[in-house]
Structure 1
Amino acid sequence: MKTFYLTSLLLTLGIASIAQTEKGTININGQFGSNSGGQHSNISNGLIKSFSIELNPNVGFFVKDNWEVGAGVLFGMTRGRMSGYYTKSISNSFGIQSYSKYYIGKKSVRPYVTLEAERIWLSEKTKFVNGNTQGYTSASWNAGGGAGVAWFVTPKIGLFSQLTYNRDLERQIKYSTGTLNLNFGVQVNLGKKK
């Protein structure tokens, strides 16, 4: 009897993974994570401590089997301080994102690669140790890519985790910065577009 249940479970998971990534399938997904969150950096005149978190709801469509394209919005916040320089830095971000994922294999747990592009609007306010406060806003384009793994738990639900590297393509200045992002998420299969 145990063999029957185990075989049934494996068959169900196999069907779930195929149904989730078939051409024409639509899904909604959301991910949350940290963009280099909790980093501690030594600077010549102090120690930077910061924490970042991001929430990212999306809608995806499979243009071919295993190939998903989608778009969504980003909401993020960063809180930081630097001893000897500023006591508090608060930044909030909002953005729009497009992405493409390609899943490898047909099992219930499968790796994928992803590419993404984002337009981010940032608002930041910093309070310095001398009591002064300074704020600014900016907008930039980001692009990046990475890899992840998805686990299709049922025909309707999938869990995933991905590690990406995004680079700021800021045009006003001559340098750009990059972030390493670890995100976790859930996707819900809405079925095929008719």
Structure 2
Amino acid sequence: MNRFYQLTLALAALLFSSVAVAQTQQGNIMVGGDISNFNLNFLGGGGGTTFQMDLTPKVAYFIRDGLAIGGYGRLGLTTAKGAGTQTSYGIGALGRYFVEDRRVRQLEFSKRSRFFVEANAGFGGSNNSASGASNNGLDLGVGPGVAFFITPNVSLEALLKYELTVGFGSATTSNRLNLGVGFQIYLPTARAKQILKEERSK
């Protein structure tokens, strides 16, 4: 247990150190996720409660400066009295590119902010327990976002994505515009491996 605490403290120190290490540098790892479609509505008069939320964890590796590829998962839940429970899901690959164009960078509202474009492709869909409505198949998404680095290694983000599911079910096509907020942690892999190796040798 003591080693677990030591490892946790070492990783925390890594997150808030190394200011000189670029967040989007080749070889870094991005870990985090988004929350979208959050809604909690208490309906009076016996109407019950409506709840909705999507969680999308992500992990990606920077294959070169500003360009990361990796994977994502998505799990969504919507419940409403009389309408059943609708679950949505997705899993696949993602790519993220941090814009380096000087004309775009001039639009950034702070030296700590970065614009990016993210795209994903995988398998996903949604299913309703009451109505039986479903749509499952190819899961696609693309859209712009902005990351604001609250520390050199942690960012708060907003991402607006157009999402499309094409496949089979009661509906063969589903498309939506999704605004999500979340956070990402950027880890320099060389330093992370060194810390892990030092902790294991103790």
The TM-score, its normalising length taken from structure 2, stands at 0.66
The answer to whether the 8 Å contact 2:135/2:167 transfers is no
Alignment of 1:128-167 (within 5 A): 134-135=131-132, 139-167=136-164
Q: Name the CA distance, whole Å, in 2 between partners of 1:69 and 1:98.
A: 7
Q: Secondary structure at the match of 2:22?
A: helix
Give the match for residue 57 of structure 2.
57
Q: 1:102 to 1:79 in 2, by over 3 A?
A: same
Q: Which runs of 4+ in 1 moved over 3 A?
A: 15-18, 134-138, 171-175
Give the CA deviation at 1:25: 0.3
Specify the code of the residue in structure 2 equivalent to 1:96: I
Q: Name the CA distance, whole Å, in 2 between partners of 1:59 and 1:159.
A: 15
The answer to whether the 8 Å contact 2:125/2:165 transfers is no
Q: 1:180 to 1:16 in 2, by over 3 A?
A: farther
Give the match for residue 89 of structure 2.
94
Q: Which segments of 5 or more consecutive residues in structure 1 lack a partner in the other structure?
A: 1-14, 39-49, 82-86, 127-133
Q: Name the CA distance, whole Å, in 1 between partners of 2:182 and 2:20.
A: 16
Is it true that 1:109 corresponds to 2:104 in the alignment? Answer: no
Is it true that 1:185 corresponds to 2:195 in the alignment? Answer: no
Give the match for residue 28 of structure 1.
31
Give the CA deviation at 1:173: 7.2
Query: What is the aligned-residue identity percentage?
Result: 27
The answer to whether the 8 Å contact 1:20/1:152 transfers is no
Deviates more, 1:164-173 or 1:67-76: 164-173
Give the CA deviation at 1:80: 4.8
Deviates more, 1:72-81 or 1:170-179: 170-179
Choose the corresponding residue for 2:128, options 119, 124, 128: 124
Q: Name the CA distance, whole Å, in 2 between partners of 1:91 and 1:118.
A: 20
Compute the RMSD of aligned alpha carbons. 2.9
Deviates more, 1:70-79 or 1:171-180: 171-180
Give the CA deviation at 1:91: 0.8
Q: Which segments of 5 or more consecutive residues in structure 2 lack a partner in the other structure?
A: 1-17, 41-49, 106-110, 194-202
The answer to whether the 8 Å contact 2:56/2:75 transfers is yes
Provide, for residues 126-185 of structure 1, a one-character-per-residue CA deviation record: whole Å limited to 9, x for no partner: 2xxxxxxx5466532121210000011212211111000011112567852211100111
The answer to whether the 8 Å contact 1:163/1:180 transfers is yes
More helix by share: 2
